[in-house]
Amino acid sequence: DAKTTQPNSMESNEEEPVHLPCNHSTISGTDYIHWYRQLPSQGPEYVIHGLTSNVNNRMASLAIAEDRKSSTLILHRATLRDAAVYYCILRDYGGATNKLIFGTGTLLAVQP
């Protein structure tokens, strides 16, 4: 599986935008980019995913570099509830496997 690299931790202020980076230089043409987050004492939850184009949903936006070797998860206005570990994961939709391999993620702290 192609690997991703994320900063161990980041800090943000409440109501400010947050840009969480992810590098995936060995991404293949059939890899989707997925983001999950894990709030304290909870299981991970889906945030967003994309292939080539930028994506928006009610939780966040995903900006994907033109060469697809990096992506950025954007939280437009951070709230205290967004404090969590954010995982960037690649999944090969063309393969037979249906696994998500979680890395260490980015621990986001949000200051009031």
Could you list the residues that contact another protein (CB under 8 A)?
Answer: 32, 34, 36, 38, 42-46, 49, 51, 87, 91, 93, 97-105
Query: Which residue, 16, 22, 15, 82, is CA-closest to 47?
Result: 82
Q: Report the C-alpha gap between 27 and 92 in whole angstroms.
A: 9
- Minimal distance, residue 24 CB to another protein, in Å: 17
- Minimal distance, residue 17 CB to another protein, in Å: 24
Closer CB to another protein, 1 or 14, in the complex? 1
Q: Report the C-alpha gap between 49 and 25 in whole angstroms.
A: 17
